[in-house]
Structure 1
Amino acid sequence: MASGLALAFLAPAAPAAGQAQYSVAEMNEVVAEAIKTPSHPESRRVLSLADADKGTKILVSTEQRRLWLISGRDTLMSVPVAVGMGRSFEFEGRRFWFETPRGKRKVLSKQPNPVWNVPEWHYLERAKSQGLEVVRLTKDDIIELSDGTFILTIGANVGRLHTSGNFWPFTPGNEIIFDGKIFVPPFGTAQRAVPDALGPYKLDTGDGYLIHGTHIYNEDSVGDAVSHGCVRMRNDDLAILYQVVPVGTAVYIF
Structure 2
Amino acid sequence: MTQLRLFQARPVVALVRGAIGVVTIATFAVSPASGQKDDLAFINGSGSDQSATYDGPTALERGHYAVVIDLDENRLYFKQGDLTLWSAPVGTGTGMRVITNDNDWEFSTPTGQFQVQYKERDPIWIAPDWYYIENDLPVPPANDPSRHREGVLGVAAVYISPSLAIHGTDKPELIGERVSHGCIRLENRYAMRLYHNVQIGTEVIIVGGEQVKKNARVVDLRKGYDPSLASKGGRKKASVDKVYQRWIEMDTDELADVLEEELEEDVDDSRWDEVALILVDRAQNENDEALDVLFERSLDLPTRAIEREWGTLLADVYRRAPEWTLEMLSGRTPRERRRLAGMMVEASVTLYGGDLESRSTPWPTSRLSREAVGRRAGRGWDLLAEAERRHRTRTGTARTRD
Q: Shorter-chain TM-score category?
A: 0.5 to 0.7
Please list, as runs of the form range in 1=range in 2, the aligned pairs for 1:155-194 lying within 5 A after superposition.
182-194=137-149
The amino acid across from 2:80 in the alignment is S
> What pairs with 1:1-254 in structure 2 (closer than 5 Å)?
35=17, 41-42=23-24, 49=58, 51-127=60-136, 182-215=137-170, 218-254=171-207
In the aligned structure 1, how far is the partner of 2:175 from the partner of 2:19?
A: 22
Distance 1:243 1:35 in 2: 22
Q: Per-residue displacement from partner, 1:182-236 (whole Å, max 9, x unpaired)?
A: 3222233320111110001111111401110010xx2111111111000000001
Q: 1:72 to 1:35 in 2, by over 3 A?
A: closer
SS in 1 for 2:109: coil
For residue 35 of structure 1, report the CA deviation from its aligned partner. 4.2
Q: Hey, which of these two has a bigger chunk of helix by percent?
A: 2
Q: Is the 8 A contact 1:199 1:212 kept in 2?
A: yes
Once the two structures are aligned, what percentage of the paired residues are identical? 30
Show CA shifts across 1:57-77 (max 9, x none).
000011110000101221111
**How far is 1:36 from its partner?**
9.2
Aligned structure 1 segments of 4 or more residues deviating by more than 3 angstroms: 34-41, 48-51
Aligned to 1:163: none
Sort the Cα spacing of 1:198 and 1:86 in 2 relative to 1 into closer, same or farther, 3 A. Answer: same
Q: Which residue of 2 aligns with 1:159?
A: none
Which gives a bigger RCO, structure 1 or 2 (Cα 8 Å, sep 6+)? 1
* CA shift for structure 1 position 54: 2.3
Mapped to 2, the partners of 1:36 and 1:183 lie a distance apart of 49
Normalising by structure 2, we get a TM-score of 0.38
- The superposition leaves residues 147-179 of structure 1 with CA deviations (integer Å, 9 ceiling, x where unpaired) of xxxxxxxxxxxxxxxxxxxxxxxxxxxxxxxxx
SS in 2 for 1:191: helix
Opposite residue 24 of structure 2, the aligned amino acid is E
Distance 1:196 1:233 in 2: 13
Cα distance in 2 for partners of 1:85, 1:37 equals 26
CA distance in 1, matches of 2:167, 2:132: 21
Displacement, 1:53?
Answer: 4.3
Return the alpha-carbon distance in structure 1 between the equivalents of residues 179 and 154 of structure 2: 16
Aligned partners of 2:18 and 2:80: how far apart in 1? 18
Q: Is the 8 A contact 1:38 1:63 kept in 2?
A: no
Q: Do 2:59 and 2:81's aligned partners in 1 also have CA atoms closer than 8 Å?
A: no
Change (3 A) 1:220 1:37: farther
C-alpha distance in 2, partners of 1:63/1:190?
37
Taking the aligned partners of 2:199 and 2:79, their CA distance within structure 1 comes to 13
Matched residues in 2 for 1:224 and 1:63: separation? Answer: 11
Q: Aligned partners of 1:81, 1:104: CA distance in 2, in Å? A: 18
Separation in 1, partners of 2:68, 2:21: 16
